[in-house]
Amino acid sequence: MDLIATLSCSDQPGIVHAVTSAILECGGNIIENQQFTDVPSGTFLMRTRFETARGVNETKREFEKKLTAFKPSITIRERTRKKRGLILVSKESHCIRDLIYLHEIDELPIEIPLVISNHQDLEPLIKNQGIEFKYIEVDPKNKDLAEAELENIIKNLEIDFIVLARYMQILSKEFSLRYAGKIINIHHSFLPSFKGAKPYHQAFERGVKIIGATAHFVTPVLDEGPIIDQDVAYVGHGANLDQMISLGRDVERRVLARAVRFYAEDRIFIVDNRTIVFH
Amino acid sequence: MDLIATLSCSDQPGIVHAVTSAILECGGNIIENQQFTDVPSGTFLMRTRFETARGVNETKREFEKKLTAFKPSITIRERTRKKRGLILVSKESHCIRDLIYLHEIDELPIEIPLVISNHQDLEPLIKNQGIEFKYIEVDPKNKDLAEAELENIIKNLEIDFIVLARYMQILSKEFSLRYAGKIINIHHSFLPSFKGAKPYHQAFERGVKIIGATAHFVTPVLDEGPIIDQDVAYVGHGANLDQMISLGRDVERRVLARAVRFYAEDRIFIVDNRTIVFH
Amino acid sequence: MDLIATLSCSDQPGIVHAVTSAILECGGNIIENQQFTDVPSGTFLMRTRFETARGVNETKREFEKKLTAFKPSITIRERTRKKRGLILVSKESHCIRDLIYLHEIDELPIEIPLVISNHQDLEPLIKNQGIEFKYIEVDPKNKDLAEAELENIIKNLEIDFIVLARYMQILSKEFSLRYAGKIINIHHSFLPSFKGAKPYHQAFERGVKIIGATAHFVTPVLDEGPIIDQDVAYVGHGANLDQMISLGRDVERRVLARAVRFYAEDRIFIVDNRTIVFH
Amino acid sequence: MDLIATLSCSDQPGIVHAVTSAILECGGNIIENQQFTDVPSGTFLMRTRFETARGVNETKREFEKKLTAFKPSITIRERTRKKRGLILVSKESHCIRDLIYLHEIDELPIEIPLVISNHQDLEPLIKNQGIEFKYIEVDPKNKDLAEAELENIIKNLEIDFIVLARYMQILSKEFSLRYAGKIINIHHSFLPSFKGAKPYHQAFERGVKIIGATAHFVTPVLDEGPIIDQDVAYVGHGANLDQMISLGRDVERRVLARAVRFYAEDRIFIVDNRTIVFH
């Protein structure tokens, strides 16, 4: 059995020793192991992948026994039990296309039980790929309705996380908090610059030489959640607004796909308003 | 004679033809030529390097004759007549070191008649390199005094442009306007994000994955002038604040050196609040 | 009418003047213009996009009249008359997917009348996108047969250029020469390193820290044709061979798409064994 | 006491547990810890930095006691006991300048007891920085003489490693083997391409769009040793040979400085002909 365990707790001597004791007790052999002590917050973080003949539950009991003193949060997951992602889109297809493509060629270890959109434009594209699609209208005056429907679906389909693949709706504070650390958004510029609407217009008028994209977790404060990944593309003065947007799309889809993969592989930890990502 | 001409005017048919007529009239042979029409502002920009037996003045007269109808701004300069840069520093040496080093190995076609600082820390380093150094104290209550002294020096030494190589003083509105388009600053982060003090602290707390630097012209609005060049370095979660700052220094010195070289070679045009840079 | 003209000839005074005379004569207004003198070969190159009320033929005559003395090669094309590309694939889909995607969202100004493969694996994918697909078996002992069929298709479908989007067959010397400068290949590594088979295996064993891709024109000498574009991705020691290949795929599809776009927009000139690309 | 321990051995269960037992036994607190199992070679590698009240020798005994069964190679070093590097240069200054600069501002934790050159050109520059310089002539017919002198110096000055900062001499097979894994070279191109002389000329004629640099360990096979770090710069068709070389210098100095820092901080492991670098 190929297991991935993650662990976080206050930093103190003996944690790694306790973890490895537990793994040894289970006859486990470590395949990958990464750990990090975040000094500003005094937090110890660890991700371990190991093979063992024991099951998830038994292993988890062993971890809890050996680690009680450290009061850690622990997750243990069978690697082949892929996380189930609900993908929300609007009208633009570049991000969802890359996710589906990478999923199809087995480079994105997630399940995609459903894609939801507040528009019907992408329905043929999604269904064409053999993926379920659902149109949920968002009434600006009554957003709660749409979010209530989302929550039902999340429960019924046993969704583990949500990807906003250019979903142009702002989620409510309540919704953001309920799924804290489980909603990944792609922002079409460098955060924290060019917040709000029309970031490319702002960037163009400012004559930037670099276009960026930021994948981050959603929090109640718009575009201020922990950053997961960022990347850039260079842009010359010859690029008009459309070309800037096109370049931006290219960066966005790469950054979002990477962030989703990190999440799918349990590589991301949130500490304060930052992330630790074990690449 | 190896000449560099720059030209900007409202876009209209026949400009290139008129320029090449003028060059042909002077028996000139074009070595490099770049031109660009900035659509949002309707501005035509051109940089031409050519060889001719005629002198600068004669060539300029020919240009003016042929181009009268277009009401252009024209500059013509002998390539070997290097621009004279005044470099202002504070206590940090990374940017000035790279400028001096590139100058020394003949990759930065400028003259450096003087380096000025509001601190004495870098005096030995600068003088060691055979470059003049002057300490000008800046009294926070009376900044005009220091700026008056700067202006005198600029006149006396026939300075063409000013480089703020990590000069931590804010120049007055009057000074910024007087030398508009002639003062290059390096900003230790991406503009327009993380404005103001302690940008690295802000970036660290936000957990950014990319550190950037921006070279821009100084305008009366702090850190809002036209961007000349930008670059980035990737930063992992393992980097503490000091390492982020160190990475940032590395990007800063590269970006500033590049911006100064573009300026020295007449490659930068300012349009609205943007730059066109002929790389 | 929106025209793109390209021109190359021996460098000498007066060329730009003659071109702009011709354009002026046609009442043309230049929108974009780039020119370059390649010093090692003494070649002058120019790409001009301009609007005129005249047609392609009339404009071309005007160009030829004004430029006779320079003996240039000239092409003039209506911008909306897109080039027709024949895409050859084998079993891997990453490159063709990106080309089709960019084509669909109007970022790749080409027509794709047909995709050909020596395998049937990608047929459903291609047809699903509404693009014609043809399976042409390649008999290793009789490659001429397949190439003869290709040539027929090229004629009948009025193909302008060929893209080898991970087509794993080596074209004959004759075929390469017949379509010199018209066949774009993507190579899964930096040329000229790791030539031949299994480049990723070679790269992995060598422990490279960077994975690259190179788009180049096909010549009779395998993998030695003029380079159009190159890019890289950083790879850590944690990447196994599969992850290296996956990273490589990501670079390949980006570089090939860019090279095809440059070609589609008449931005590439071949001089000796190099390319000049007006980005 | 701030210690850095490195460990490598055949991969098997229980190693991390044994290491952490030893550290716990010494009352140590882990500050940084990285480990990696290299699957192709079945090698386990670990770098741990920890604080302890015990000394180096006592800690090492504890490690050896707990780890006997795994037959590991272990190094333990006090972090403040900096490694002593001998830097060899020829005539070019860009790499040595950056090393000295970073050393001076405390970003390169090494000691530089001596710089040696086979030319006298850089003597003033080096001495100016307060660093010892020695000129050792290399007689092409009798290279052994120079190498014998080098070996004496290495012993007398207790040198830990050697940096070839653009030292244009090929070291003998014997010398390379004697200091295997201790000589860092910077190669002015991507290995394994453009081997041998005049790589930039080769790269220019091939019209490459990217210039790279590779830092690697020296082995008896020229330019074929394990790669430590690589980086690139983008180059346009406008760059002539000199500009390519200048861009290359910029990449070289960055890559070499990074490789030396990795070495100085015990971050590099050699496995087969590859390196594992804990960034």
Contact A16 D34 (CB under 8 A): no
Q: For residue C248, what are the CA distances in angstroms to C121, C190, C193, C212?
A: 21, 11, 15, 7
Confidence of residue C262 (pLDDT cuts 50, 70, 90): very high
Task: Give me C81's structure tokens.
Answer: 């008359």
Under a CB-based contact definition with an 8 Å cutoff, are residues B37 and C30 in contact?
A: yes
Distance CA A224, CA B66 (A): 56
- Say how many C-beta atoms besides its own lie within 10 A of residue B180's C-beta: 13
Task: Specify the domain boundaries for CATH 3.40.50.170 within chain D.
Answer: 83-277
Contact C274 D190 (CB under 8 A): no
Under a CB-based contact definition with an 8 Å cutoff, are residues D90 and D169 in contact?
A: yes
As a dihedral over the C-alpha atoms of residue D212, residue D215, residue D220, residue D224, rounded to 10 degrees, the angle is -40
Q: For A208-262, how does the pLDDT look when each residue is reduced to its tens digit (9 = 90+)?
A: 899 889 999 999 987 789 999 999 888 888 788 888 888 899 899 999 999 999 9
Under a CB-based contact definition with an 8 Å cutoff, are residues C115 and C131 in contact?
A: yes
Residues of B with CB below 8 A from D238's CB? Answer: 32, 279
Under a CB-based contact definition with an 8 Å cutoff, are residues C82 and C103 in contact?
A: no
Interface partners of chain A (CB pairs < 8 Å, 3 or more) are B, C, D
Interface partners of chain C (CB pairs < 8 Å, 3 or more) are A, B, D
What confidence score (pLDDT) does residue D106 get?
85
What confidence score (pLDDT) does residue C199 get?
78
More confident residue, B243 or B24: B24
CA R_g for chain B? 20
Mutation for testing the B interface, residue in A206, A275, A277 having most B CBs under 10 Å: A206
Q: How far is B209 from chain D (nearest CA, A)?
A: 15
Nearest Cα residue to C78 out of C54, C100, C96, C101: C54
CA R_g for chain C? 20
Residues of C with CB below 8 A from A236's CB? Answer: 279
Residue from the list D16, D23, D30 with its beta carbon closest to the beta carbon of A33: D16
Residues of chain C whose C-beta is under 8 A from some C-beta in A? 32, 93-94, 97, 101, 105, 107, 128, 236, 238, 246, 250, 254, 279
Q: How far is C73 from chain D (nearest CA, A)?
A: 20
Distance CA B225, CA B215 (A): 9
Low-confidence ranges of chain A (pLDDT < 50): 191-192
Distance CA B195, CA B175 (A): 21
Distance CA A199, CA A248 (A): 11
Determine the Cα angle at A27 with ends A26 and A31, to 5°. Answer: 105
Residue from the list B24, B33, B37 with its beta carbon closest to the beta carbon of C35: B33
Lowest-pLDDT choice from B11-15, C154-158, C187-191, D38-42: C187-191
More confident residue, D257 or B193: D257
Residue from the list D12, D17, D37 with its beta carbon closest to the beta carbon of A20: D17
Under a CB-based contact definition with an 8 Å cutoff, are residues C188 and C237 in contact?
A: no
Using DSSP, state whether D138 is helix, strand or coil. Answer: coil
Catalytic residue among B98, B223, B229, B266: B223
What is the distance in angstroms between the CA of the first residue and the CA of the last residue of chain A? 23
Stretch B68-91: mean pLDDT:
96
What confidence score (pLDDT) does residue B205 get?
84
Nearest Cα residue to A70 out of A32, A43, A108: A43
Residues of D with CB below 8 A from A34's CB? Answer: 34-35
Distance CA C150, CA C87 (A): 11
Query: Is 50 exceeded by the pLDDT of residue C136?
Result: yes
Distance CA C126, CA C131 (A): 6
Residues of D with CB below 8 A from A29's CB? Answer: 12-13
| Length of chain D as a residue count | 279
Question: Phi, psi at residue C214, to the nearest 5°?
Answer: -135, 125
Query: How would DSSP label each residue in A146-186?
Result: HHHHHHHHHHHTT--EEEESS--PPPPHHHHHHTTTSEEEE
Distance CA B91, CA C29 (A): 52
Element of type H or E holding C229? strand C227-234
Q: Which CATH architecture describes the domain B83-277?
A: 3-Layer(aba) Sandwich (3.40)
Mutation for testing the A interface, residue in B8, B35, B190, B201 having most A CBs under 10 Å: B190
Question: Phi, psi at residue D112, to the nearest 5°?
Answer: -120, 85
Q: How far is C191 from chain B (nearest CA, A)?
A: 25
Stretch C50-71: mean pLDDT:
95
The ipTM assigned to this model is 0.88
Stretch C127-139: mean pLDDT:
94
| Length of chain C as a residue count | 279
Distance CA A249, CA A92 (A): 10
Residue C4: beta bridge partners? Answer: C49, C77
Mutation for testing the C interface, residue in A91, A92, A97, A166 having most C CBs under 10 Å: A97
Q: For B30-51, how does the pLDDT look when each residue is reduced to its tens digit (9 = 90+)?
A: 888 888 888 889 899 999 999 9
- Say how many C-beta atoms besides its own lie within 10 A of residue B116's C-beta: 20
Lowest-pLDDT choice from A30-39, B165-174, C62-71: A30-39
Distance CA A153, CA A84 (A): 12
Under a CB-based contact definition with an 8 Å cutoff, are residues B25 and B54 in contact?
A: no
Residues of D with CB below 8 A from B97's CB? Answer: 101
Q: For B248-275, how does the pLDDT look when each residue is reduced to its tens digit (9 = 90+)?
A: 998 999 999 999 999 999 999 999 999 9
Residues of D with CB below 8 A from A27's CB? Answer: 13
For residue B278, the chain A residue with the least C-alpha distance is A237
Residues of B with CB below 8 A from C17's CB? Answer: 17, 20-21, 23-24
- Say how many C-beta atoms besides its own lie within 10 A of residue D3's C-beta: 23
Distance CA B43, CA D244 (A): 32
Right CATH number for B2-78 from 2.40.480.10, 3.40.50.300, 3.40.50.150, 3.30.70.260?
3.30.70.260
Distance CA D164, CA B30 (A): 43
Under a CB-based contact definition with an 8 Å cutoff, are residues A211 and A184 in contact?
A: no
What confidence score (pLDDT) does residue C191 get?
46
Catalytic residue among A98, A223, A229, A266: A223
Under a CB-based contact definition with an 8 Å cutoff, are residues A34 and A278 in contact?
A: yes
Task: Specify the domain boundaries for CATH 3.30.70.260 within chain A.
Answer: 2-78
What confidence score (pLDDT) does residue B185 get?
97
Under a CB-based contact definition with an 8 Å cutoff, are residues B212 and B251 in contact?
A: yes
Q: For B108-127, how does the pLDDT look when each residue is reduced to its tens digit (9 = 90+)?
A: 999 999 999 999 999 999 99
For residue A30, the chain D residue with the least C-alpha distance is D13
Nearest Cα residue to C89 out of C111, C119, C113, C127: C119
Stretch C217-230: mean pLDDT:
90
Nearest Cα residue to B254 out of D244, D99, D250, D187: D250
Distance CA D106, CA D102 (A): 6
The size of the B-C interface in CB pairs under 8 A is 45
Q: What DSSP designation does B70 have?
A: G
Determine the Cα angle at D139 with ends D134 and D142, to 5°. Answer: 115
What is the full per-residue pLDDT of chain D (279 aa) written as tens digits?
999 999 999 988 888 889 989 999 999 988 888 888 888 898 999 999 999 999 999 999 999 999 999 999 999 999 999 999 999 999 999 999 999 988 988 889 999 999 999 999 999 999 988 999 999 999 888 889 999 999 999 999 999 999 999 998 999 999 999 999 999 999 876 544 666 667 788 888 888 899 889 999 999 987 789 999 999 888 888 788 888 888 899 899 999 999 999 999 999 999 999 999 998
Contact A17 D14 (CB under 8 A): no
Residues of A with CB below 8 A from D13's CB? Answer: 23-24, 27-30
Using DSSP, state whether B79 is helix, strand or coil. Answer: coil
Q: Is B117 left (phi over 0), alpha (psi -120 to 50) or beta?
A: beta
Using DSSP, state whether C187 is helix, strand or coil. Answer: strand
What confidence score (pLDDT) does residue C236 get?
83
Distance CA A37, CA A11 (A): 7
Using DSSP, state whether C46 is helix, strand or coil. Answer: strand
Task: Give me A112's structure tokens.
Answer: 């995609």
The size of the C-D interface in CB pairs under 8 A is 82
Q: How far is B124 from chain D (nearest CA, A)?
A: 11
What confidence score (pLDDT) does residue A239 get?
83
Distance CA D134, CA A203 (A): 53
Instruction: Sort A143 into a burial class: Cβ within 10 Å, 0-12 / 13-18 / 19+.
Output: middle
What confidence score (pLDDT) does residue B143 get?
87
Under a CB-based contact definition with an 8 Å cutoff, are residues C232 and C244 in contact?
A: no
Q: How many CA atoms lie within 13 A of D119 on its CB side?
A: 12
What confidence score (pLDDT) does residue B193 get?
63
Contact B206 A272 (CB under 8 A): no
Q: What DSSP designation does D79 have?
A: T
Active site residues of D: 223
Confidence of residue C174 (pLDDT cuts 50, 70, 90): very high
Q: How far is C277 from chain A (nearest CA, A)?
A: 14
Stretch B3-18: mean pLDDT:
91
- Say how many C-beta atoms besides its own lie within 10 A of residue D229's C-beta: 25
Q: How far is A140 from chain C (nearest CA, A)?
A: 28
More confident residue, B106 or C192: B106
